[in-house]
Structure 1
């Protein structure tokens, strides 16, 4: 294998990529606007949820409960009659509809356990799940304070001293931003390397490579390193200017160590992209294969859901996926400031997985080139 051939063929891939405006737009979007939108799309708390209240009690307590719902968590409550509850829910006007029954205050003061009906539009999942807990807490606090004739509860028997490490303000965008970067690194590395090989086949330029004094190993290496370099550069831009700059997320660990892990991860995913490109006959086929491979890599790697909550079979199978180890490495370095002494098992696993993927993809590429020759 000659380094000069790999260098010149790699530069040819970079020039070909520079002329593909659609892929350039995809790269720019994936590591800029997509990172910001993915990190901030899910609200961190309930915000301006529409709520309607049917007050059949008309008591001081029910009036107090109605007044406890106010922005920014809820919109100002809309008082509606009993007949308007189902109609408003069916029309999608309210996420929550609260029905305070008659004699609610009297039953509470008499020591009974009155019931309030809460109807929730469960199609609005982000608001429905969080908002139900908010409403239950608000009603319980107001009812308890009214029954005690004083505000403020009794001192708890145990005082819990909460110290949130690595994300003291519990900012959800910090987690979403890093996970979005990891997902886009994986996606773009598969897309760019696969598209590079399929583009050669569709444009007929792969025959030029067959008559050149280059080996399949040189061809594959020349497609891996330039695409990995482009994704790595885009990842660095995203971390420095979007994650650290625009989203104001502090990075605790060494960026050099993270980029080293990202480079090894790209070695594995770009090899996987070459393998998928040798299986697919066209870009549409490659896109379908990409969906089948990319979704499990992103959903089951531990980024969206902790691995400990998954079935043991899934945890064991996903150990052969490079994204599993890259997610662990990225979270340890960027969040917890881990060093090489902590993440070396992930680096070693990524290296072994990358070497296996590279060998399998190289064997498949040799077979494909041999059939074309």
Structure 2
């Protein structure tokens, strides 16, 4: 065992040296855990912001003016008036996300108790903004009509007192969500790419033959690649959470970062093993990239990091329980968002460890076959 650990350590140090000598991979790690996190968190917002609104006012009454004046920044840009025959053209061109059309005699019909219709055209290609913005506009219109009819500037008092408490993200700020989730997704991406690239690099540089004639076993080579590349990822994660998320973006971390790092280490065993497994089926970096890309896309999109697991078909939810990324996302969200302790997240840690052992053993078997063939 002492000899095995010594070989793993020395091979891992060699791997770190190879990584340090590869400026492209170093730049990739720095970019993924710095600018990529910041740009996605500040640019890919889920809430409504600066949505473009146009309107057609065939009534030109005090009520329509009141409604339009209530559509305010930062959710919406100031509404712009267009002609009735321009609605189709501006919607087709994507110039506006929302187009309101007030019919003639709108205010008079409201005052006489009729139910006039307001046409609201929505460009649903901007799906998140369209869905949330539609709700906001409906609330604005309903509130302004109620105030107009009551003659009061305060909203109509409801027979109930609804108290809304937003836990874990009181301001519903998407930066809090997207910054942390970007780091979680990047762990998966880099774990697969770095370990796979390490094996491909050995082949392309011809050093795999050197390893074959050395008194080392496939398990030592594989574990060395896992701990060396995993160490680089863990360091990048810790610095990204500290500098980018907490300092630059001012996002609070609710739970224990050491507990999160422990879970990330367990998770790294499975995804780095997956990277080596994929690399054994390829002979060059372009082939590896083409093979890894669809795997990573599926793992990230269906892990619960982008959309809730509950929104997926039940059969797909069951299938995704076999993916370690699903449990890592649940584990990470519980700790970093909700401040959960080990008494809550230990089942996910156990499942990640079990799946990691399976991925590691499968990858090790395939790696042994590959090395025997190369020899």
Q: Normalised by the size of structure 1, how large is the TM-score?
A: 0.95
> How many pairs are equivalent?
373
Q: Report the Cα distance in structure 1 between the residues aligned to 2:135 and 2:318, rounded to whole angstroms.
A: 35
Q: Deviations over 1:183-209 (max 9, x none)?
A: 000110100000000111112111111
Cα distance in 1 for partners of 2:201, 2:354 equals 29
Q: Identify the match of residue 103 of structure 1 among 105, 111, 115.
A: 105
In structure 2, the residue corresponding to 1:320 is in which secondary structure?
Answer: coil
Deviations 1:250-307 (A, max 9, x none): 2222211111101010111111111111011221121121122112211111221222
Assess, with a 3 A threshold, how the Cα gap between structure 1 residues 317 and 86 changes in structure 2: closer, same or farther.
closer
1:74 alignment partner, one of 67, 73, 76: 76
For 2:241, the equivalent position in structure 1 comes to: 239
Provide the rounded CA distance (Å) in 1 between the counterparts of 2:92 and 2:165: 43
User: Using a 3 Å threshold, how does the CA distance of structure 1 residues 309 and 128 change in structure 2: closer, same or farther?
Assistant: closer
Instruction: Give the C-alpha shift of residue 44 in structure 1.
Output: 4.9
Q: Partner of 1:164: helix, strand, or coil?
A: coil
Partner of 1:268: 270
- Give the deviation of 1:348 after TM superposition: 1.2
Show the 5 A alignment for 1:115-130: 115-130=117-132
Q: Which string of whole-angstrom CA distances, capped at 9 and with x for unpartnered residues, describes residues 90-147 of structure 1?
A: 3433222221111111111111100111222233334322222222222222222222
SS of match in other structure, 1:162 = coil
In structure 1, distance between residues paired with 2:306 and 2:280: 30
Are 1:43 and 2:37 counterparts? Answer: no
Instruction: State the distance in 2 between where 1:95 and 1:356 align.
Output: 48
What runs of 5+ residues in structure 2 fail to find an aligned partner?
none
What SS is found at the alignment partner of 1:138? helix
Tell me the equivalent position of 1:132. Answer: 134
Structure 1 position 215, deviation (Å) = 1.0
Matched with 1:189 is: 191
Distance 1:265 1:119 in 2: 46
2:298 counterpart residue number: 296
Moved more, 294-303 or 179-188: 294-303
1:250-329 superposed matches below 5 A: 250-329=252-331
Which of 166, 172, 175 does residue 173 from structure 1 map onto? Answer: 175
Distance 1:347 1:43, change over 3 A: closer
User: Which consecutive residues of structure 1, in runs of 5 or more, have no partner in the other structure?
Assistant: none
Residue number in structure 2 paired with 1:369: 371
- CA displacement at 1:216 relative to structure 2: 0.9
* Offset, 1:79: 2.2
Cα distance, 1:21 vs structure 2: 1.2
- Asked if the contact 2:147–2:156 (Cα under 8 Å) also holds between the matched residues in 1, the reply is no
The equivalent residue for 1:65 is 67
Name the CA shift for 1:191/1:168 in 2 (closer, same or farther; >3 Å): same
Q: How big is the alpha-carbon RMSD for the aligned residues of Structure 1 and Structure 2?
A: 1.6
Map 1:149-160 to 2 at 5 A. 149-160=151-162
Alpha-carbon distance between aligned partners in 1 of 2:180 and 2:90, rounded to the nearest angstrom: 40
Partner of 1:207 in structure 2? 209
Q: 1:164 to 1:75 in 2, by over 3 A?
A: closer
SS at match of 2:84: coil
Take 2:102 and 2:221, find their aligned partners in 1: how far apart are those partners? 72
Runs of 4+ in 1 over 6 A off after TM superposition: none
3-state SS in 2 of match to 1:83 = helix
Q: Distance in 1 between matches of 2:87 and 2:166?
A: 41
Shift in alpha-carbon separation, 1:350–1:127, aligned structure 2, 3 A: closer
Q: TM-score, normalised by structure 2?
A: 0.95
Q: Matches of 1:359 and 1:147 in 2, distance apart?
A: 71
3-state DSSP of counterpart to 1:98 = strand
Report the more deviating stretch, 184-193 or 340-349. 340-349
Of the structure 1 ranges 53-62 and 348-357, higher mean CA displacement relative to structure 2 is found in: 53-62
Between 1:293-302 and 1:40-49, the stretch displaced more is 40-49
> What does the per-residue CA deviation read over 1:69-100, in whole Å, with 9 as the maximum and x for residues that have no partner?
23332222222222333333334332222211
- Within the alignment, does 1:332 sit opposite 2:334 as a pair? yes
Task: Determine whether 1:220 maps to 2:204.
Answer: no
